[in-house]
Amino acid sequence: METKIDVITETRIVAIGKSDPPGSIDRKLTLAGGIIRQGGLVAFPTETVYGLGGDALNSESSRKIYAAKGRPCDNPLIVHIADMTHLDRIVSGIPPKAQKLAKAFWPGPLTLIFRKSEVVPYQTTGGLDTVAVRMPSHPIANLFIRKAGGYVAAPSANLSGKPSPTLARHVVQDMMGRIDMIIDAEGVEIGLESTIVDVTGDIPVILRPGYITQRMLSGVVGETDMDVTIYDGQSTQAPRAPGMKYRHYAPRGELVIVEGEPQNVVRYINEQTALREAGGARTGVIGTQEVLSQYQASSVKNAGRRRDASMVARQLYTFLREFDDEDIAYIYAESFADSFDDSGFGQAVMNRLLKAAGHRVIHV
Ligand code: AMP
Ligand code: MG
C-alpha cells in the first residue's frame, strides 16, 4: 500500500540544553508529550540515534510515521518504553531469558522482540504478531516517553533511504514540514541503531548488531545466535524481519571497503584516489587516526583510533551525509572488522558499512 504524505506546514524546533532549569525541561516535554497523545509526531534524541515518535497504540499515528519517512509500511517500528512495569501491557508473556536481558541492559541500546498483546496495532508492527521493544537510557527520551503516555513507536528520524540522524540538523534536513516537533538536545552518543534480539524462541537470535555485543548478551543468557543475513550480502535465506530486506542507505558516491595490512590499505587507497582524481572525480576516505595523514583524497574523515570503534560509530552517518554534500564520487573506507577492536563494537560498524557499500570489499 502506498503511504500518503501528510502535509504539515509548521514544524516546531525545541532546543533543550544541559543548563536549562528542570521546570523548563519539564514544560517543553509536557508539550511534546501532549502532541503524541493527540496523535502527532515528534522527533526526539536517544542514546543511539534520533527517533521519529508517535503513539505506538494508535494505528493512525503509526500510519503517519510511515508517511513522514516515506517508509514501506511492512517495515516494523520499535516501541519505546520508559519503565519496566509498562512492558506487560504490550507483550503476551516475558520469557525468562528476555527478563534477564532486560534487567542487564535496560535502559540502554538493546531492542527485544516479543509476541505482541492485543493492544498493539498491526500498523505498528508492520503486520507481525511480534513487537520490538526498547527502553532508551537518554534522560530526555525517558521523560518524553512518560509525558507521551508510555508507549512511543519510533523508527530512526530520517527519510527512508538516508542514514539515521545523529545530529538535530540531520533531522531538520529530512523532516521539516513533515512532523509537528523536533526536540534538539545533546547526548546522542552511540551513533548506531540499537542491537535487536529476538527472544521469542529458545535461543536468543541477534537480528541487528549494535553497541550491545554478542559476547555481552551471551555473558547474561548463555548461547545466542546471529542471523545469517546480517553479514552475508549473498545470503538466500529469507530475513527474519521484513525490515531487513530493505535496501539501506548508500551514499551517492561508490563506497568500497578495503581490507588488509594497514600499509597495503593506505597504498591501495592512495593509488585509487590518485587515479580517480586525475580523471576529474572527487574522492573521499574514512581512515583511522594512525595513518590518516598519509591519505591524499579530497575529503578525509577521521575514524579515530583503530582499536576503538566507538568514534567511527558515532560519526559514520555524519560522514556519509557529508560525502553527499561534498559531491564525492568515490569513497574508500578502511575495514573495522572486530578483530581490530577491543570493544567488540566493530561488528556493528562493519554491518552498517557493508550495507552502505552494497557489500563491496577489496582485500589487498
Ligand atoms: P529502525 O530501522 O531503527 O527504525 O528499526 C526498526 C527495525 O526493527 C526494523 O527495520 C526491523 O528490522 C526491526 N524490527 C522491528 N519490529 C520487529 C519485529 N516485530 N520483528 C523483527 N524485527 C523487528
Ligand atoms: Mg532506520
Residues with CB under 6 A from ligand 1: 75-76, 78, 113, 125, 128, 130-132, 155-156, 193, 196, 207, 241, 243-244
State the distance from the centre of ligand 1 to the C-alpha of 126, rounded, in angstroms.
9
Q: What is the pLDDT of residue 71?
A: 84
Q: What is the pLDDT of residue 179?
A: 97
Question: Atom 10 of ligand 1 has which residue's CA nearest to it?
Answer: 243
- Give the mutation target among 44, 75, 246 for probing the ligand 1 site: most ligand atoms within 8 A of CB: 75
237 has pLDDT over 60: no
Q: At the topology level of CATH, where does 254-363 sit?
A: Rossmann fold (3.40.50)
236 has pLDDT over 60: no
Q: What is the pLDDT of residue 1?
A: 44
Nearest ligand by distance to the CA of 130? 1
238 has pLDDT over 60: no
Q: What is the pLDDT of residue 340?
A: 60
Find the helix packing angle between 346-356 and 310-325, rounded to 10°: 20
Tell me the whole-structure pTM to 2 decimals: 0.93
- Give the mutation target among 117, 159, 196 for probing the ligand 1 site: most ligand atoms within 8 A of CB: 196
Gap between the Cα atoms of 178 and 168, Å rounded: 15
Convert the pLDDT of each residue in 122-168 to its tens digit: 999 999 999 999 999 999 999 999 999 999 999 999 998 899 999 99
pLDDT band at 2 (very low <50, low <70, confident <90, very high): very low
Contacts of 280 (CB under 8 A, 6+ apart): none
Gap between the Cα atoms of 102 and 238, Å rounded: 28
Q: What is the pLDDT of residue 235?
A: 54
- Give the mutation target among 48, 52, 77, 81 for probing the ligand 1 site: most ligand atoms within 8 A of CB: 77
Domain boundaries along the sequence of the chain:
12-226, 254-363
Alpha helix (H) ranges present in 38-118?
A: 59-69, 96-105
The b-or-e profile of 112-121 (16+ CB within 10 A means b, else e) is bbbebeeebb
Q: What is the pLDDT of residue 74?
A: 81
Q: At the topology level of CATH, where does 12-226 sit?
A: DHBP synthase (3.90.870)
> Which residue from 9, 175, 204, 174 is spatially nearest to 101, judged by alpha carbons?
204
Contacts of 262 (CB under 8 A, 6+ apart): 288, 290, 291, 306, 334
State the distance from the centre of ligand 1 to the C-alpha of 155, rounded, in angstroms.
8
State the distance from the centre of ligand 1 to the C-alpha of 77, rounded, in angstroms.
6
Convert the pLDDT of each residue in 171-218 to its tens digit: 999 999 999 999 999 999 999 999 999 999 999 999 999 999 999 999
The atom of ligand 1 lying closest to the CA of 246 is: 10
Average pLDDT, stretch 76-84? Answer: 97
Average pLDDT, stretch 27-35? Answer: 98
- Give the mutation target among 78, 117, 160 for probing the ligand 1 site: most ligand atoms within 8 A of CB: 78
CA distances from 35 to 89, 148, 176, 179 (A): 22, 8, 16, 10
State the distance from the centre of ligand 1 to the C-alpha of 144, rounded, in angstroms.
21
How many other C-beta atoms lie within 10 A of the C-beta of residue 194?
26
The atom of ligand 1 lying closest to the CA of 128 is: 19
12-226 matches 254-363 in fold: no
Query: How would DSSP label each residue in 96-133?
Result: HHHHHHHHHH-SSSEEEEEEB-TTS-TTTTTT-SEEEE
State the distance from the centre of ligand 1 to the C-alpha of 78, rounded, in angstroms.
6
The grid coordinates of residue 145 equal 516517553
More confident residue, 306 or 204: 204
Q: What is the pLDDT of residue 228?
A: 75
